[in-house]
Amino acid sequence: MSCRVYIESAIPDTRAEVKKNYFNSLGLSVRVKAVSLADCYVIDKELGGEQLKKAGELLANPLTERAAEKLLAPKKFDCAIEIGFLPGVTDNVGGTARETLEDGLKIKFAPAENVYSSRVFFVSFEKKPGSAELEKIKLSLFNPLIERAAIKLPVDFKKDGGMDLVIPKVKLEAKTEVTEVNLALSDRELEALGKLGIENKDGTRRGPLSLSLDYLKAIKKYFDEQGRKPTDAELETLAQTWSEHCKHTIFADPMDELERGIYKTYIKGATEAIRKKKGKNDFCVSVFTDNSGAIAFDENYLITHKVETHNTPSALDPFGGSITGIVGVNRDCLGFGLGAKPVINIFGFCLANPDDRTDLYRDKEKKQKMLSARRIMEGVVAGINAGGNQSGIPTDLGFIYFDPRFRGKPLVFAGTIGIIPRKIKGQPSHIKKSKPGDLIVTVGGRIGADGIHGATFSSEGLSANSPATAVQIGDPITQKKMSDALIKEARDLGLYSSITDCGAGGLSSAIGEMAEATGGCIVNLEKAPLKYPGLAPWQIWISESQERMVLSVPEKNWPALRSLLLNRGVEAEVIGKFTDSGKASVKFGKEIVLDLDMDFLHNGRPIKKQATKKPAQTDSSLPFVRGGNNKKNYSKEILKLLSRLNISSFEFITRQYDHEVQAGSVLKPLQGAGRINTEATVTRPVLNSKKGVVLSSALYPALSEADPYKMAANSIDGAVRAAVAAGADIDNLALLDNFCWSSSEKPERLWQLKEAARACYDTAVAYGTPFISGKDSMFNDFKGFDADGKPIKISIPPTLLISAIGVIPDAVESISLDAKVPGDYIYVIGDTGNEMGNSEYSTMLKSGLSVETAAETGTVPEINPEKNYRSYKAFFKAARKNLIASAISISRGGLAVALVKTLAGGRLGGEISLKDLPGNWSENYQALFSENGGRILATVAKNKATEFEKTISGASFFRIGRVKTGADVIIFNSNKKIIASLKIKDILKAYRQSLGSY
Partner 1 sequence: MIHPKIIILSGYGLNCEEETAHAFNLAGGKAEIVHINDLVAGRKKLKNYEILAVPGGFSYGDDTGSGKAYANKLKNHLREELNEFVLKDKLVIGICNGFQILTQTGLLPGALKTNKNARYLDRWVDLKISGKSLWLKGIKKLSLPIAHGEGKYFADKNILAGLKKENGIVLKYVKGEICEYQDLEPNPNGAMEDIAGITGYNGRVLGLMPHPERAMFFHHLPNWPVRKEKLSRKGSPLPEYGPGMRIFKNAIGYFK
Q: Which of residues 391-420 bind partner 1 (CB under 8 A)?
A: 391-392
Residue 756-795 contact track with partner 1, rule CB under 8 A, x = bound = ----------------------------------------
* Residue 567 binds partner 1 (CB under 8 A): yes
Given candidates 481, 754, 775, 962, which one binds partner 1 under the rule CB under 8 A?
481
Nearer to partner 1, 39 or 438 (CB): 39
* Residue 65 binds partner 1 (CB under 8 A): yes
Which of the stretches 258-266, 767-775, 878-886, 926-934 binds partner 1 when contact is defined by CB under 8 A? 878-886
Instruction: Please provide residue 178's backbone torsions phi and psi, each rounded to the nearest 5 degrees.
Output: -100, 130
* Residue 14 binds partner 1 (CB under 8 A): yes
Contact 24, 34 (CB under 8 A): no
Given candidates 24, 30, 52, 95, which one binds partner 1 under the rule CB under 8 A?
95
Instruction: Look at residues 25, 94, 10, 23 and name the one whose alpha carbon lies nearest to residue 60.
Output: 10
Residue 482-511 contact track with partner 1, rule CB under 8 A, x = bound = --x---------------------------
* Residue 480 binds partner 1 (CB under 8 A): yes
Chain centroid offset of residue 873 CA: 32
- Is residue 286 packed enough to be buried (19+ CB in 10 Å), middle (13-18) or exposed (0-12)? buried
Instruction: Look at residues 407, 409, 410, 411 and name the one whose alpha carbon lies nearest to residue 359.
Output: 407
Which of the stretches 73-81, 156-164, 389-397, 611-619 binds partner 1 when contact is defined by CB under 8 A? 389-397
DSSP string, 143-178: -TTTEEEEEE-HHHHHHHTSSPP-------------
* Residue 672 binds partner 1 (CB under 8 A): yes
Instruction: Look at residues 164, 177, 846, 236 and name the one whose alpha carbon lies nearest to residue 512.
Output: 236
Task: Please state, in angstroms and rounded to a whole number, the distance separating the CA atoms of residues 601 and 215.
Answer: 12
Residue 262-301 contact track with partner 1, rule CB under 8 A, x = bound = ----------------------------------------
* Residue 717 binds partner 1 (CB under 8 A): no
Rounded to a whole number of angstroms, the minimum distance from the CB of residue 943 to partner 1 is 8
Rounded to a whole number of angstroms, the minimum distance from the CB of residue 822 to partner 1 is 12
Encoded amino acid at 152, one letter: K
Structural element, H or E, at residue 61: none
Which of the stretches 95-103, 129-137, 868-876, 967-975 binds partner 1 when contact is defined by CB under 8 A? 95-103
Which of the stretches 16-24, 505-513, 640-648, 848-856 binds partner 1 when contact is defined by CB under 8 A? 16-24
Which of the stretches 353-361, 627-635, 651-659, 872-880 binds partner 1 when contact is defined by CB under 8 A? 651-659
The number of residues that bind partner 1 (CB under 8 A) is 73
Nearer to partner 1, 41 or 349 (CB): 41
| Helices and strands of the chain, counted as H and E runs | 31, 38
Q: Any residues with CB less than 8 A from the CB of 812 and at least 6 apart, and which?
A: 666, 690, 692
Using DSSP's 3-state secondary structure scheme, residue 224 falls into helix
Given candidates 26, 29, 31, 61, which one binds partner 1 under the rule CB under 8 A?
61
The sign of the torsion formed by the CA atoms of 710, 712, 713, 714 equals positive
Instruction: Look at residues 195, 197, 170, 177 and name the one whose alpha carbon lies nearest to residue 449.
Output: 170
Rounded to a whole number of angstroms, the minimum distance from the CB of residue 815 to partner 1 is 7
DSSP string, 740-802: E-S-TTSHHHHHHHHHHHHHHHHHHHHHT--EEEEEEE---EEEEE-TTS-EEEEEPPPEEEE
Given candidates 241, 314, 345, 385, which one binds partner 1 under the rule CB under 8 A?
385
Nearer to partner 1, 474 or 503 (CB): 474
Q: What does DSSP assign to residue 974? A: T
Nearer to partner 1, 19 or 605 (CB): 19
What's the alpha-carbon Rg for the chain, to the nearest Å? Answer: 29
Instruction: Look at residues 208, 429, 237, 295 and name the one whose alpha carbon lies nearest to residue 806.
Output: 295
Instruction: Look at residues 280, 315, 287, 324 and name the one whose alpha carbon lies nearest to residue 302.
Output: 287
Rounded to a whole number of angstroms, the minimum distance from the CB of residue 332 to partner 1 is 19
DSSP string, 517-534: HHT-EEEEGGGS-BSSS-
Rounded to a whole number of angstroms, the minimum distance from the CB of residue 995 to partner 1 is 14
Rounded to a whole number of angstroms, the minimum distance from the CB of residue 469 to partner 1 is 23
Q: Which of residues 100-159 bind partner 1 (CB under 8 A)?
A: 100, 103-104
Nearer to partner 1, 439 or 724 (CB): 724
Which of the stretches 153-161, 223-231, 251-259, 567-575 binds partner 1 when contact is defined by CB under 8 A? 567-575
* Residue 886 binds partner 1 (CB under 8 A): yes
Which of the stretches 97-105, 363-371, 436-444, 966-974 binds partner 1 when contact is defined by CB under 8 A? 97-105
Nearer to partner 1, 306 or 675 (CB): 675
Given candidates 548, 644, 675, 721, which one binds partner 1 under the rule CB under 8 A?
675
Rounded to a whole number of angstroms, the minimum distance from the CB of residue 429 to partner 1 is 19
The sign of the torsion formed by the CA atoms of 650, 655, 656, 660 equals positive
Q: Which of residues 932-991 bind partner 1 (CB under 8 A)?
A: 941
Given candidates 684, 710, 892, 901, which one binds partner 1 under the rule CB under 8 A?
684
DSSP string, 401-444: EE-GGGSSS-EEEEEEEEEEESEETTEETT-----TTPEEEEEE
Rounded to a whole number of angstroms, the minimum distance from the CB of residue 413 to partner 1 is 20
Rounded to a whole number of angstroms, the minimum distance from the CB of residue 628 to partner 1 is 40
Contact 239, 538 (CB under 8 A): no
Given candidates 666, 703, 725, 828, which one binds partner 1 under the rule CB under 8 A?
666
What number of residues does the chain have? Answer: 998
Q: Which of residues 815-874 bind partner 1 (CB under 8 A)?
A: 815-816, 818, 820-821
Nearer to partner 1, 396 or 737 (CB): 396
Given candidates 51, 176, 390, 738, which one binds partner 1 under the rule CB under 8 A?
390
Using DSSP's 3-state secondary structure scheme, residue 939 falls into strand
* Residue 661 binds partner 1 (CB under 8 A): yes
Task: Please state, in angstroms and rounded to a whole number, the distance separating the CA atoms of residues 3 and 451.
Answer: 30
CA 410-412-415 angle, 5° bins: 165
Q: Which of residues 890-919 bind partner 1 (CB under 8 A)?
A: 906
